[in-house]
Amino acid sequence: MRILFYDTKKYDRDSFEKVTEKYPEIEIEYTDTDINSKTANLAKGYKAICAFVSSDVGKETIDCLSKNGVELVLLRCAGFNNVDLEEAKKKNITVMRVPGYSPEAVAEHAMALALASSRRIHKSYIKVRENNFSLTGLTGTNLHGKIAGIIGTGKIGATMCRICRGFGMKVIAYDLYKNPELDFVEYLELDKLLNDSDLISLHCPLTEESYHMINKSSIAKMKDGVILVNTSRGALIRTEDLIHGIRDKKFFSVGLDVYEEETNNVFENREDDILETSITARLLSFPNVIVTSHQGFLTNEALESISITTFENAMSYLNGNLIENNVVM
């Protein structure tokens, strides 16, 4: 099977090349170009393509892939909101993902954002590099004894619940489905969680229902001085409303590893998808905000897991086996 690997970064190639010899049936070629409706023609002659969560695998892209003989879309990520699943099904294109590559990697990064932002580590780092050891403006807040509100308790959210418990926090959660493994977590309605939490961490998928779930109305229900962390999907938060909330001093700190400007294909019919230029830069102008570059997944362990699972997905398709990682089959 020949696979075209779109949007290749050095860490992608390195991690996949480490395990490629175990899969002699598979041949991967790499390109720096990301996939969209215009670059999908590069896949002519390939049976499969490999894409990331920010890639454009919408209707036009799927149509082009189908015309070029592509049968399989391998997502090297858990999310699939960037894929037109209905069109893929119509074109008999199988879509597979990596649902649980390393929940610890993302959850640990979420806690790192909570700690770094709330203890002003980013400000301290910059000051000390300039030989300024003044403590002015660096006063933080404890997490111990506070309430952590976790929205979404799948594998990553559940791991975040355990981390927060280890910090001595009371853990509450909101999810449509309760996780039976989290017997120490109290599940509440979303409004109650927003009202009670000192730390709110988002770990839910992006759907029509969850799109902009953090907005002017939901922010108003939060405690003053709340810590907000998002390592899931940028469009869970309406950025303009978040900026207004930061200006109004609603948040003690904000940590983001994802943001709306990452992709333009969130829900293309939404009028309010159009963001002002450099809205992320506006977020970075606030001293209590930390933005990282969607690196929550970026650990050696997670990259190895992503590589192996992606190869195994390709092999299962090649051998005609249907497994749980299929999104469309």
CA 329 to chain centre: 24
CA distance 193 to 259: 23
Tell me whether residue 29 is one of the annotated catalytic residues: no
- Compute how many other C-beta atoms are within 10 angstroms of the C-beta atom of residue 313: 24
| Contact partners, residue 246, CB within 8 Å, separation at least 6 | 254, 283, 286, 288, 289
Count H helices and E strands in the chain, helices first. Answer: 11, 13
Tell me whether residue 294 is one of the annotated catalytic residues: yes
Q: Which of these is catalytic: 97, 233, 238, 260? A: 233
Helix (H, G, I), strand (E, B) or coil at 282: helix
CA 307 to chain centre: 18
CA distance 122 to 83: 35
* Cβ atoms of 65 and 17 closer than 8 Å: no
| Contact partners, residue 196, CB within 8 Å, separation at least 6 | 147, 149, 172, 188, 223
* Cβ atoms of 184 and 165 closer than 8 Å: yes
Q: Which of these is catalytic: 104, 262, 304, 312? A: 262
CA distance 311 to 7: 17
Task: Determine phi and psi for 129, rounding to 5 degrees.
Answer: -60, -25
Tell me whether residue 130 is one of the annotated catalytic residues: no
Tell me the catalytic residues.
233, 262, 294
